[in-house]
């Protein structure tokens, strides 16, 4: 009998100890308790259920069901972390601006993207963030319009022209990868894009994966691709460094590597060549999957919204009619594309490329009477406010005119680019490249969906299940180039 009593005593002491430990840990607010909500199976929690909802594009219903059950602050467990799900504009404000929350850095992110803006902290983060914001600020983006225009025209001739059927998603990815690489890498971009387009895809896919580094997993493939890309970009960075050392002064190039070396020589940051390479990778990953999702879904929406398309065609044709076919678009042209940009914003509202944002509590937080322990994650999904009829009347309707009066949209309810100190620095860049791409696609082609009821999944970026195959018809030839004209005449 003695051992049994001993075990019971031991269990009682253990229980008391755990009780003290837990209540002690959560004593920063005597009246606060953890948010409601079940945590599911240990470790796994709601991970598979949420991933399944994203893949079947029912994530918005999934979030709404939890909010209905537990209220606007609830706990869950995803990707191995205790996570508080928050809903509403005030919650968005809290997530994007509160100083006790930090951008969540996963092990996968650190392994794949090294010391990039997404994984740095403190002073280094400040230096990189300010350099990147400088490189992407509107008056700098103006200088990139010509490069964007050239790359869009090049790819349209190569991949769209002369075909009567194309699959939009892979071509949009190729397009935005080509654009960001030709701006941040300069001359060598084309070779990188040709050799590593598939690697960028695998690297992007691995970011939200479990960090198990064996060859056939998403993460393992991502790691191998990351190494190949890093090697190729390092070679370019060495070349830039050499030519800067030889010339001894700044070359008038717009690439990001030269820009960072110049800032370094002015003492604006302390990044090494390796750190700069990691940040080039971070920018390319942040830039191309997001903007290609926007372009893909804009094309998809325009096929089912003939009135919106007609207005866009009118706006774009007018710009095209006032230029020679060999002229490049200018920033002034882009700023005249007002209605087209409203349609892009409506696309970002209904199908946000980034489904939500994760933060990590850097200390114990008392939020609206609930305790959020240090180390827990906090999460907000964009669709929760984007598709709420209190903020957007008739929320499933595609209606660009809602953006006519920006003041009618409540603050912190439209968040496609996030907000606060970590807000997307590429907002202006993505606006300009999307407008340049849409200009040529709309003025040169008409398109029809091959599958009328093609659905889409979030993986986690929204992607049509078949990649959006469309039938293409030519409206205008891509340039006055004789060879192309001859082709056009023959096909017409």
Ligand X SMILES: *[C@@H]1O[C@H](CO)[C@@H](O)[C@H](O)[C@H]1NC(C)=O
Q: 260: helix, coil or strand? A: helix
Q: Which does 99 bind (CB under 5 to 8 A by kind): ligand X, ligand HEM, none?
A: ligand X
**430 with 352: CB under 8 angstroms?**
no
- Whose Cβ is closer to ligand X: residue 132's or residue 365's? 365
Report if residue 347 touches ligand HEM, rule: CB under 6 A: no
CA distance 425 to 414: 16
Q: Are strands 462-464 and 456-458 parallel, antiparallel or unpaired?
A: antiparallel
Q: Which stretch binds ligand HEM (CB under 6 A): 30-38, 419-427, 447-455, 478-486?
A: 419-427
Tell the smallest beta-carbon distance from residue 323 to ligand HEM (Å). Answer: 25
- Whose Cβ is closer to ligand X: residue 209's or residue 368's? 368
Q: 215: helix, coil or strand? A: coil
Answer for which of 367, 414, 417, 445 binds ligand X (CB under 6 A) is 367
- Could you tell me which of 222, 164, 196 has the C-alpha nearest to residue 471? 164
**CA atoms within 13 Å, Cβ hemisphere of 267:** 0
Tell the smallest beta-carbon distance from residue 68 to ligand X (Å). Answer: 23
- Whose Cβ is closer to ligand HEM: residue 32's or residue 334's? 334
Pattern of binders to ligand HEM over 261-290, x per CB under 6 A?
Answer: ---------------------xx--xx--x
Task: Name every residue whose Cβ is closer than 8 Å to that of residue 244 and which is 6 or more positions away in sequence.
Answer: 250, 251, 258, 261, 262
Pattern of binders to ligand HEM over 130-159, x per CB under 6 A?
Answer: --x---x-----------------------
Task: Name every residue whose Cβ is closer than 8 Å to that of residue 280 and which is 6 or more positions away in sequence.
Answer: 184, 185, 233, 237, 256, 257
Q: Which does 100 bind (CB under 5 to 8 A by kind): ligand X, ligand HEM, none?
A: ligand X
**Residue matched to tokens 């963030």:** 129
- Whose Cβ is closer to ligand X: residue 367's or residue 391's? 367
Tell the smallest beta-carbon distance from residue 42 to ligand HEM (Å). Answer: 27
Which residue sits closest to ligand HEM, CB atoms considered?
A: 426
Backbone torsions φ then ψ of 470, nearest 5 degrees: -135, 155
Report if residue 26 touches ligand X, rule: CB under 6 A: no
Answer for which of 34, 53, 85, 103 binds ligand HEM (CB under 6 A) is 103
Report if residue 430 touches ligand HEM, rule: CB under 6 A: yes
Report if residue 366 touches ligand X, rule: CB under 6 A: yes
Report if residue 478 touches ligand HEM, rule: CB under 6 A: no
Residues 79-108 that bind ligand X (CB under 6 A): 98-100
- Count of residues making up the chain: 492
- Whose Cβ is closer to ligand X: residue 84's or residue 244's? 84
CA distance 285 to 281: 6
Answer for which of 46, 47, 92, 291 binds ligand HEM (CB under 6 A) is 291
Report if residue 253 touches ligand X, rule: CB under 6 A: no
Report if residue 128 touches ligand X, rule: CB under 6 A: no
- Could you tell me which of 370, 350, 352, 348 has the C-alpha nearest to residue 361? 370
Tell the smallest beta-carbon distance from residue 75 to ligand X (Å). Answer: 16
- Helix (H) / strand (E) element for 445: namely strand 445-449
Answer for which of 118, 166, 384, 387 binds ligand HEM (CB under 6 A) is 118
CA distance 232 to 194: 12
CA distance 71 to 370: 12
- Whose Cβ is closer to ligand X: residue 69's or residue 366's? 366
Residue 207: strand pairing partners: none
Q: Please give the full DSSP string across 235-250, using - where no structure is assigned.
A: HHHHHHHHHHHHH-S-
Which residue sits closest to ligand X, CB atoms considered?
A: 98
**339 with 307: CB under 8 angstroms?**
no
Tell the smallest beta-carbon distance from residue 151 to ligand X (Å). Answer: 42
Report if residue 297 touches ligand HEM, rule: CB under 6 A: no
Q: Is 181 one of the annotated binding-site residues?
A: no
Exposed / middle / buried, residue 184 (Cβ in 10 Å: 0-12, 13-18, 19+): buried
- Whose Cβ is closer to ligand HEM: residue 118's or residue 319's? 118
Q: Which does 209 bind (CB under 5 to 8 A by kind): ligand X, ligand HEM, none?
A: none
**194 with 182: CB under 8 angstroms?**
no
Going by the DSSP 8-state scheme, the letter that residue 401 receives in this structure is: G
Applying CB under 6 A, the residues found at the interface with ligand X are: 98-100, 365-367
């Amino acid at each position: 009998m003695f051992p049994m009593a001993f075990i019971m005593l031991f269990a009682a002491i253990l229980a008391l100890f755990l009780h003290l430990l837990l209540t002690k840990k959560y004593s920063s607010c005597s009246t606060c308790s953890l948010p409601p909500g079940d945590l599911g199976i240990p470790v796994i929690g709601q991970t598979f259920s949420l991933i399944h909802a994203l893949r079947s594009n029912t994530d918005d219903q999934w979030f709404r069901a939890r909010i209905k059950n537990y209220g606007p602050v609830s706990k869950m467990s995803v990707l191995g972390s205790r996570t508080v799900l928050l809903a509403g504009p005030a919650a968005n404000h809290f997530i994007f601006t509160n100083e006790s929350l930090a951008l969540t850095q996963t092990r996968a992110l650190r392994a794949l993207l090294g010391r990039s803006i997404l994984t740095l902290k403190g002073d280094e983060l400040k230096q990189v963030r300010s350099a990147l914001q400088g490189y992407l600020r509107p008056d700098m983006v103006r200088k990139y319009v010509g490069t964007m225009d050239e790359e869009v025209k090049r790819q349209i001739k190569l991949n769209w022209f002369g075909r009567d059927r194309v699959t939009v998603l892979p071509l949009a990815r190729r397009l935005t990868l080509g654009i960001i690489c030709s701006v941040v890498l300069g001359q060598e971009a084309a070779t990188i894009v040709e050799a590593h387009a598939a690697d960028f895809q695998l690297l992007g896919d691995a970011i939200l994966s479990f960090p198990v580094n064996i060859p056939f997993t998403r993460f393992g493939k991502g790691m191998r691709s990351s190494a190949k890309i890093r090697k190729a970009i390092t070679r370019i960075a060495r070349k830039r460094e050499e030519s800067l050392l030889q010339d001894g002064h700044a070359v008038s190039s717009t690439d990001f590597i030269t820009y960072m070396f110049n800032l370094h020589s002015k003492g604006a940051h302390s990044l090494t060549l390796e750190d700069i390479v990691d940040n080039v990778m971070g920018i390319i990953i942040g830039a191309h999957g997001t903007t290609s999702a926007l372009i893909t879904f804009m094309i998809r929406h325009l096929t089912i919204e003939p009135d919106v398309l007609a207005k866009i065609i009118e706006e774009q044709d007018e710009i095209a009619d006032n230029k020679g076919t060999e002229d490049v678009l200018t920033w002034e042209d882009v700023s005249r594309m007002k209605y087209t940009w409203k349609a892009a914003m409506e696309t970002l509202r209904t199908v946000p490329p980034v489904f939500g944002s994760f933060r990590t509590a850097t200390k114990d937080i008392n939020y609206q009477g609930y305790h959020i322990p240090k180390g827990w994650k906090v999460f907000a999904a964009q669709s929760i406010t984007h598709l709420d009829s209190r903020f957007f009347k008739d929320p499933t309707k595609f209606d660009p005119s809602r953006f006519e009066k920006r003041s009618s949209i409540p603050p912190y309810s439209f968040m496609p680019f996030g907000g606060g100190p970590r807000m997307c620095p590429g907002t202006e860049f993505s606006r300009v490249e999307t407008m340049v791409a849409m200009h040529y696609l709309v003025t040169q082609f008409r398109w029809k969906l091959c599958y009328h009821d093609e659905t889409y999944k979030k993986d986690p970026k929204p992607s049509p299940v078949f990649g959006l195959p469309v039938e293409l018809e030519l409206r205008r030839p891509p340039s006055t180039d004789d060879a192309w004209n001859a082709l056009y005449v023959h096909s017409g």
